[in-house]
Structure 1
């Protein structure tokens, strides 16, 4: 391996772990060129840093050759004294949205494996070419700045996923492999035009587009995204107040943003809906735009599992929609994507929505609207009897708090 190529890969890993490396690092390896190059570079880096590097392969079972490919990865790892494990998704079925569903299943399996094995980070072999392809795919869908911005270099927690090679092209990683004398596994699906990413990749080649330049554009958009997010956080500090799980907007200030800084109004409302309604798929751009158009007229609006309505003192309240809350979970787990409850734990206790049991509480003394309290967290015993509803004035020693502050969601995406 030539010094310049080796140096670029090692520098990328050094930069990724600039804040300190965890005790154990995993690399997701399919056997393809990008992930195999990442594995070899990570092993060199790990030996130099004294960090344990492990490899993991996910076999979706969608192709007859996938099991053999996983064995080939295992053999490569064994030849480099790298621990390796294959995760087989026996219950994964082909069908619509195959790549998206496979990706979601893969991440779920990897995260569970990472937790079991106490991995600090799981590395993925995405490159600048992936950034370019993703930019064009999202551009086709009319994505905004956040959607067009470069994919995150690090995301998730417990363990985190990392992409240390977003600044490197696929060709650089292939040179790495060639100079190491390693032939990657060629996945035939990478040439199957039935998949959107393959069609975009082929279009980039046919139009002689510079994937590196496209990736740099995505990087500039990420800088813009970050700047807009900081501006949104500053605005939120002045016009948004948390109220026991609800959000109160200064309505005149929000309407002014809708008129004069529509992007910031859109950003704040989307963040509010995600903070209250969960981190699943956010409302579509058209839905948010229709909400922005309707808010000046007043009235009750629903979107993204939330309900919005004007209240006294010129404010707009955003609360959880009771019908959209999550099912009960055992005490000790986060409920409805955001609520953490502390109190006198007992056997069989569960957290769920207060719902009609609000009638059994002194809710009028809480100062919260009944509409908000219907969706607030409540503790019940194994027979379903209400034990506590801390936000509705029936604390019984329990306390309910959102797992993170609203403003943190504006700048930590």
Structure 2
């Protein structure tokens, strides 16, 4: 059986000239097995390695054996293969959501550690249908997209998800596998009536073709500044406003529902206002709306210190990736520390938007000095090789479709 459109999806999103591995989330089930085989076919034609990643959620007695079988199967097919485990105590409530987050975090961390920028997942047209059925019953599950940034943060930074099977029916993928003489694992959880997805799957077993994938919005026109500012026109799409809140605040969940609707209504009305939402400070001017990190979050547990050992890398406040130099360093919010900056840095701070100043990262050095790396100047010489990267602008580009291929940076 010939599956159409999949090679075009690979060609559209992946970089044939890259030599980075292509990561594939492989459960051992039929959908992910078909994806792994198809990915290996494309990768061999372009000289690229494939890394299969299997997550053991440790929720079933047989999960360890299933994971070993999946890893062996992937290696027999010609992929490099790793197993990942969700260890530790499991929540008694919200288990499905917690397992989903843990899975995405493990996959993203392993992909990034291997140098992979793209992680392929085996969602199908049936998954889109099931998601729609679940939403009709009150679930908030979203539609899987063919291309999107990893949903976990900061573990998923720089990792994109590609789902090239979204136009394929599950039954066709199994016919494809049978013709190749392949067998696959069937997770009994897929038939557990306590699962909303299993119920949706059962109710849709005999339905026809799924609805078309939702249309994509045009990417936004925006301005950004590494000191922590994202600016959009007042008439920006609601999804882009939500993404700006998310990225400026460095959080994982964008605002939704009534709170987002109220923000949109206020902007459309022409009102000039300042507000906070989902960790972001919002300043609505006559022509544009600007998003900053809300420095007041420190009173609610945000903007926490980050201690880094020599040459250690960490993400501070979800917005800046920082690598220590030869000496240990502690990253703190600049709030309350500006008087300890050098004269040159204090002068540079005055040119920074007032609302962004207090939430800038400051380095408390072992020598007792304080340096704000985003302000530049000769004071950085005392930071002894500290490297810093602002994450929120690229994150916003990824979230709004401005980065839509592996080779786009």
Q: Shorter-chain TM-score category?
A: 0.7 to 0.9
Where does the alignment leave 5 or more consecutive residues of structure 1 unmatched? 258-263
Using the TM superposition, give the Cα deviation of residue 18 of structure 1 relative to its aligned residue in structure 2, in angstroms. 6.3
Q: Is the 8 A contact 1:389 1:395 kept in 2?
A: no
Structure 1 equivalent of residue 350 of structure 2: 366
User: Are 1:356 and 2:336 counterparts?
Assistant: yes
- Distance in 2 separating the partners of 1:25 and 1:285: 36
- Rate the CA distance shift 1:247–1:60 in 2: closer, same or farther, 3 A: closer
TM-score w.r.t. length of structure 2: 0.75
- Distance in 1 separating the partners of 2:348 and 2:74: 64
Using the TM superposition, give the Cα deviation of residue 265 of structure 1 relative to its aligned residue in structure 2, in angstroms. 5.3
- Distance in 1 separating the partners of 2:62 and 2:44: 32
Q: How many residues matched?
A: 376
- Rate the CA distance shift 1:99–1:328 in 2: closer, same or farther, 3 A: same
Structure 2 equivalent of residue 326 of structure 1: 303
- Distance in 2 separating the partners of 1:158 and 1:191: 35
* Equivalent position SS for 1:213: coil
Structure 2 equivalent of residue 260 of structure 1: none
- Rate the CA distance shift 1:297–1:63 in 2: closer, same or farther, 3 A: same
* Equivalent position SS for 1:56: strand
Q: Is the 8 A contact 2:295 2:303 kept in 1?
A: no
Structure 2 equivalent of residue 261 of structure 1: none
Structure 2 equivalent of residue 24 of structure 1: 21
TM-score w.r.t. length of structure 1: 0.75
Structure 1 equivalent of residue 154 of structure 2: none
* Equivalent position SS for 1:378: strand
Structure 2 equivalent of residue 164 of structure 1: 164
Using the TM superposition, give the Cα deviation of residue 321 of structure 1 relative to its aligned residue in structure 2, in angstroms. 1.1
Structure 1, residues 61-106: CA drift from partner, whole Å, max 9, x if none?
1111212222332443454454433223332525222222112212
Q: Is the 8 A contact 1:300 1:308 kept in 2?
A: yes
User: Are 1:303 and 2:286 counterparts?
Assistant: no
Structure 1, residues 119-171: CA drift from partner, whole Å, max 9, x if none?
4543322112112222443465597xxx9665133534655443222221111
Using the TM superposition, give the Cα deviation of residue 195 of structure 1 relative to its aligned residue in structure 2, in angstroms. 1.5
Q: Is the 8 A contact 2:146 2:161 kept in 1?
A: no
User: Are 1:209 and 2:207 counterparts?
Assistant: yes
1:243-322 equivalences under 5 Å are 244-247=227-230, 254=234, 257=235, 264=236, 266-293=238-265, 298=272, 300-309=274-283, 317-322=290-295
- Distance in 2 separating the partners of 1:319 and 1:118: 31
Structure 2 equivalent of residue 380 of structure 1: 364
Q: Is the 8 A contact 1:328 1:353 kept in 2?
A: yes
Match of 1:337 among 298, 309, 318: 318
* Equivalent position SS for 2:337: helix
Match of 1:396 among 368, 379, 398: 379
* Equivalent position SS for 2:292: strand
* Equivalent position SS for 1:126: coil
- Distance in 2 separating the partners of 1:45 and 1:393: 45
- CA RMSD between the two structures: 3.8
Structure 2 equivalent of residue 181 of structure 1: 181
Using the TM superposition, give the Cα deviation of residue 401 of structure 1 relative to its aligned residue in structure 2, in angstroms. 7.2
1:134-145 equivalences under 5 Å are 134-138=131-135
- Rate the CA distance shift 1:95–1:322 in 2: closer, same or farther, 3 A: same
- Distance in 1 separating the partners of 2:295 and 2:240: 22
- Rate the CA distance shift 1:363–1:82 in 2: closer, same or farther, 3 A: closer
User: Are 1:197 and 2:171 counterparts?
Assistant: no
1:35-114 equivalences under 5 Å are 35-77=32-74, 79-91=76-88, 93=90, 95-114=92-111
Using the TM superposition, give the Cα deviation of residue 282 of structure 1 relative to its aligned residue in structure 2, in angstroms. 0.4
Using the TM superposition, give the Cα deviation of residue 175 of structure 1 relative to its aligned residue in structure 2, in angstroms. 0.4
Where does the alignment leave 5 or more consecutive residues of structure 2 unmatched? 151-156, 382-386, 404-409
User: Are 1:153 and 2:147 counterparts?
Assistant: yes
